[in-house]
Amino acid sequence: MNISTIIEYLKEKQWNSTDITYVVLYMIIASLLTTPIFGIPIGLACFLYLNDKENLKAFQRDYDRK
């Protein structure tokens, strides 16, 4: 999985309030454990890995077919 696929997935995702809450929560926890500079991408990666893993894989299959 490359960065451009992840960026396209994040741009096309239909965000709801639960998703945004989880992203912010993961970013805050990661920022407390590391610095805020590293906490933001780590929190986003945790959200993608823990909450959106199946949707991201399906998007990647569709993105690769284009």
For residue 9, the model assigns a pLDDT of 86
pLDDT per position as a tens digit, 6-62:
888 889 889 999 999 999 999 999 999 999 999 999 999 999 899 888 888 888 888
- Tell me the residue range of the domain where 9 lies: 3-65
Domain count, the chain: 1
For residue 66, the model assigns a pLDDT of 67
pTM of the model: 0.80
Identify which of 48, 17, 12, 16 has the alpha carbon closest to the alpha carbon of residue 30.
48
Residue type, 23: V
- Tell me how crowded residue 23 is: count the other CB atoms within 10 A of its CB: 20
In which element (H, E) is residue 38 found?
helix 36-50
Identify which of 17, 19, 24 has the alpha carbon closest to the alpha carbon of residue 9.
19
